[in-house]
């Protein structure tokens, strides 16, 4: 039991948030989650490279580019994912911070005479 205490992470991984939706609330923790897609490209020849996330940082799978041999790369954020880029893209679930606001609800009683015509008051100059 003591081993489970140290192994168990106390932060939510948002596993129940679907990948195919841009934004959704996590049913486990209640946070608003946005799925962001990233693509790693070679800085020299601009070819797509396979990537992974390591310690919350996006890195290419191999150190050198298979096309030109360069070690330089850049990360491009995608607005929407194409089926062509799915094989190369990685995604992160990012928590969208919400402002401190209160929700106010108002109830209006039903009027008895809804069919009566409302009249505007005239204003004299």
Based on the structure, what is the number of domains in the chain?
Answer: 1
Instruction: Yes or no: say if 48 and 88 are a contact pair by the CB < 8 Å rule.
Output: yes
124 within some domain: no
* Residue whose structure tokens are 């934004």: 23
Domain-embedded: residue 55: yes
How confident is the model at residue 59, as a pLDDT?
A: 93
What pLDDT does 125 receive?
Answer: 47
User: Which structural domain range is residue 90 located in?
Assistant: 22-95
pTM for this predicted structure: 0.65
Q: 34-49: b or e for each residue (b if 16 or more CB lie within 10 Å)?
A: ebebbbbbbeeeeebb
Residue 120 maps to a domain: no
Q: For residue 97, give every residue at least 6 positions away whose Cβ sits within 8 Å of its Cβ, in sequence order, or none.
A: none
pLDDT of residue 47: 94
Judge whether 119 lies within some domain.
no
Summarize pLDDT for 29-88 with one digit per residue, the tens. 888 999 999 999 999 999 999 999 998 899 999 999 999 999 999 999 998 888 888 899
- Residue 59 inside a domain? The answer is yes
**What percentage of the chain exceeds 90 in pLDDT?**
37
């Amino acid at each position: 039991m003591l081993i489970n205490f140290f192994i168990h992470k106390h932060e939510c991984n948002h596993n129940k948030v679907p990948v195919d939706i841009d934004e959704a609330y996590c049913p486990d923790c209640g946070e608003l989650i946005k799925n962001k897609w990233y693509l790693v490209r070679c800085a020299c020849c601009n070819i797509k490279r396979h990537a992974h996330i390591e310690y919350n940082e996006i890195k290419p799978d191999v150190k050198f580019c298979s096309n030109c041999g360069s070690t330089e790369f850049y990360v491009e954020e995608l607005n929407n994912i194409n089926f062509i880029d799915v094989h190369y893209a990685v995604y992160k679930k990012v928590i969208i911070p919400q402002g401190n606001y209160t929700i106010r609800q108002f109830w209006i009683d039903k009027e008895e005479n809804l069919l009566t015509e409302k009249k505007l008051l005239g204003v004299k100059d």
